[in-house]
Amino acid sequence: HFGGGTGGRLAGKHILVTAGPTHEPIDPVRYIANRSSGKQGYAIAGALAALGARVTLVSGPVALATPPGVSRIDVETAQDMANAVARALPADAAVMVAAVGDWRTDAAGQKIKKEGGAPPSLQLSENPDILAMLAASPRRPALVVGFAAETERVVEHATAKRARKGADWIVANDVSGDVMGGEANAIHLVTADGVEHWERLPKDEVARRLAQRIADAL
């Protein structure tokens, strides 16, 4: 294992981070995905490791290098991600940054062909809510942090999500602008104590501040 031995504020702590999108296959060549670069989640994993935590990063498909000191597990689908998260427990904290696909479809074994007229319709089923399952689990980490990407009524939706999913904190960001794939993020931190509005910051700085807050809480 990496990290943990450097004597930082999070030395001896195991922190689980999810990041990136999931890919839900339609057939061997097509998939349904969310828009996510993975940058914010990777920055958080790196910032936690820099404070001495042992970090397990469960990552959907992204084009990013693993941050120094982070142990990475690659997954494709939401169900894979749920299984990898369960296997990575126990953890002292979990930060669920991944843009998990809400729906999957039964993947066809062979490539679906256009020939034959009408376009295919996809029968969708709902994926497991990894954050809600973790928060309700007997092996619940002491601190469970979720993210909420919203395009409108950001704090209202994030506050409702915090209650619905049983998370300690929700980090809400307004994705109506150019946040997706961009380098900066304006976030609202929703906790039991209320809502903090952070100024627009580079994603690395959001990560460093959040890692410090997590160290304060643990």
User: Where do contacts with Ca ion occur on this chain (CB under 5 A)?
Assistant: 102
> Is residue 83 annotated as part of the catalytic site, yes or no?
no
Does position 206 bind ligand CTP by CB under 6 A? no
Q: How far is the CB of 132 from ligand CTP (least distance, A)?
A: 7
Report whether 168 contacts 95 (CB < 8 A). Answer: no
Q: Is 96 in the site for ligand CTP (CB under 6 A)?
A: yes
Identify which of residues 9 and 74 has a Cβ nearer to ligand CTP in the complex.
74
Residue 187, judged by CB atoms within 10 A of its CB (0-12, 13-18, 19+), counts as buried
Q: Is 129 annotated as a binding residue?
A: yes
Q: What is the DSSP string of 67-83?
A: PTTEEEEE--SHHHHHH
> Is 165 labelled as part of a ligand binding site?
yes
Distance, in Å, from the CA atom of 57 to the CA atom of 72, rounded to the nearest integer, reads: 5
The reply, when asked if residue 128 is annotated as ligand binding, is: yes
CA distance 88 to 107: 27
> Is residue 148 at the binding interface for ligand CTP, with CB under 6 A as the rule?
yes
Query: Which residue among the candidates 34, 127, 173, 185 is catalytic per the annotation?
Result: 34
Nearer to Ca ion, 61 or 128 (CB): 128
What is the set of active-site residues? 34
